[in-house]
Structure 1
Amino acid sequence: MEKLRMELLPHDTRYTCASLMDRAGINENYKKLILDHARPDITNSTYVQKDLLDLINTINII
């Protein structure tokens, strides 16, 4: 990471992975298996990040 001058940690990729899977509508069980979390609620409550576009798209569905 130092050679790439990046301040992120490898663990930070979980946020991106969880958010992309959520946006793609991936089944909750598959998300949990891929991210391998011990606590069942950790994926959505900690790693899935929603931005304004996500919220607008959700409202546009209805």
Structure 2
Amino acid sequence: MSEQPTLVSGITPGLTIRAEDYGDNPIADWLCACGHHERTTTARGVQLLAARVRVGHCPHGPKGAAA
């Protein structure tokens, strides 16, 4: 029996920002196309992450190659 590579489906790269109720701290999750994940749970952190993330651009690859 040969080893099969792991395939994860249904999880798409992108930035998700949410807050459960008005007044709650927002939560931002960023999943890069390369698989890198970041989470922040402060209002300022969400602002900084949202300003830094570029959809379709992976800053983790060679010279920030597009994913």
TM-score by length of 2: 0.27
- RCO higher in 1 or 2 (8 Å CA, sep ≥ 6)? 1
- Higher helix content, 1 or 2: 1
Q: Which has the larger Rg?
A: 2
